[in-house]
Structure 1
Amino acid sequence: MEGIASNLLEIRRRVHDAARAAGRDPSAVRLIAVSKTKPAGMIREAFDAGQTLFGESYLQEFLEKCDDAELEGCPLEWHFIGHLQSNKVRSVIGRVSLIHGIDKVSTAEELSKQAVKRGINADYLLEINTSGEATKYGMQPLEAKAAAETLFGLPGITLRGLMTIASPDPSQAETEFRDLRLLLDAIKTQAPHPEELTELSMGMSGDFEAAIRQGATLVRVGTAIFGWR
């Protein structure tokens, strides 16, 4: 076994071990294979190795992969993990299981509008800027708390949890992952249905084990599976 298949095996082992070390059930942590910029053939290779959950960030590339003959008949679960602008919502909705990158009330309102128009429900996460870096997308934690009541009232969409991209410094990253978990706990106290808020999307190739220690339910791993882009 070599290449993508062996990389997946190693990442799954590390996810399992990190969850066990944290006293968590490993099945509570799902691995998203981040396949952005990677061709359909590599996604098919990962699928053949047992991976079904994939994350994409670039809309046009994602749409092309959805229609790629090499992936036809593969029961893939797609997540859109990139920043999503309001004018792109209509192209994503209905094609993915979960949208990670909603960071404005106006984008959530557009998602709601499009979901109602189609007669479907769309699940999403709020992207939170836990590091405070100006170059990163995401609501500030206090902004997310203030917006929660409005978000919970939007029809056709369900807030499932929070997402963040942490600082590159591992020691800072773990603190930011903890902060995201605490923020989710706080938002649950505002929610009419707190049981729906189950997801923490945090941790990437370099820090997913720290994220698991802090409660991640979804880890987004690309480079460690597919190699450098």
Structure 2
Amino acid sequence: MKAAKAPQAPEPTGDPAERLRELKAGLARAAALGGHPPPSLIAVSKTVPAEAIRPLIGAGHRLFGENRVQEAEAKWPPLLAETPGLELHLVGQLQSNKAEAAVRRFDAIHSLDRASLVTALARAIDRTGRHPLLFVQLNLGREPQKGGVAPEGLEDLLKDARNAGLAIFGLMTVPPAAKEPAPYFALLRKLARRHGLAGLSMGMSSDWDIAASLGATHVRIGSALFGPRG
């Protein structure tokens, strides 16, 4: 029996600034249907050149995401110098040896998923004095190709983080692509509540409306804003 295909979120139209307005309005509507405040929209600009990002900055957007530390270090310094107040989130996997670079560059890290990274981030925060928001990434679909801690490992990882002096803001997940995302988002919300965590980083270009209706605090949207990746 084939797995049910996940529904697709409404496709925004127009140029990036128009898409941004449509998405923010759609997020607000979907969140209101679920009785939640609208989530923060992270414009995920991986592989997107600076000239394609500037129209969104010009439209007033200030929250962006990247998947790789190296790409952010190469691309973002001029943009940050041009427009103070931009906020940059790391939404991709993080190697322990890049922890200090990530802490220096990013305002939030969404992919804390193992004890060795807890140690590396705690050292980096101590050295730099910077305290990015930290999300623990969960692999709720138990997919071997994805990062994230299994649900049964969450409590121990949170304990490791607490013992290392890290303040965890929330949880993040990426549901399996071919499955209905709502049960995974609902489980993430349940686990966050159980552990007293406020942040829910969930939802991307194909399912942002479902995530917003289920209480996402942050959604990570790339192709719906910038178009398909090259």
Q: TM-score, normalised by structure 2?
A: 0.89
Give a deviation string over 1:32-61, Cα, whole Å, max 9, x none.
Answer: 000000001111111111211000002211
Question: What fraction of aligned residue pairs are identical, expressed as a percent?
Answer: 35
Q: TM-score, normalised by structure 1?
A: 0.89
Contact 1:122 1:158 in 2 (8 A): no
Q: 1:78 deviation in Å?
A: 0.2
Q: Does 1:178 align with 2:186?
A: yes
Q: 94, 100, 112: which is aligned to 1:102?
A: 112
Whole-angstrom CA distance in 2 between matches of 1:205 and 1:158: 29
Q: Which residue of 2 aligns with 1:22?
A: 34
3-state SS of 1:169 partner: coil
Contact 1:55 1:220 in 2 (8 A): yes
Q: 110, 120, 127: which is aligned to 2:130?
A: 120
Q: For residues 122 and 67 of structure 1, do their structure 2 counterparts lie closer, same or farther at Cα, with a shift above 3 Å needed?
A: closer
Q: Which residue of 1 aligns with 2:4?
A: none
Q: 1:170 deviation in Å?
A: 5.0
3-state SS of 1:93 partner: helix
Determine which structure has greater relative contact order: mean sequence separation of CA pairs < 8 Å that are 6+ residues apart, divided by chain length. Answer: 2
Whole-angstrom CA distance in 2 between matches of 1:147 and 1:9: 38
Q: Which residue of 1 aligns with 2:225?
A: 225
Q: 1:2 deviation in Å?
A: 4.0
Q: 162, 166, 172: which is aligned to 2:171?
A: 162
User: Does 56-65 or 161-170 show the bigger shift?
Assistant: 161-170
* Structure 1: gaps spanning 5 or more residues: 189-196
Q: 126, 150, 175: which is aligned to 1:140?
A: 150
Contact 1:55 1:78 in 2 (8 A): yes
Whole-angstrom CA distance in 2 between matches of 1:41 and 1:2: 17
Give a deviation string over 1:70-102, Cα, whole Å, max 9, x none.
Answer: 553212100011100100111111221110011
- Say how many residue pairs are matched: 216
Code of the residue aligned with 2:169 in structure 1: it is: R
Q: Does 1:3 align with 2:15?
A: yes
Contact 1:165 1:203 in 2 (8 A): yes
Q: Which residue of 2 aligns with 1:64?
A: 74
Give the aligned CA root-mean-square deviation in angstroms. 1.5
Q: Which residue of 1 aligns with 2:195?
A: 187
Contact 1:99 1:123 in 2 (8 A): yes
3-state SS of 2:21 partner: helix
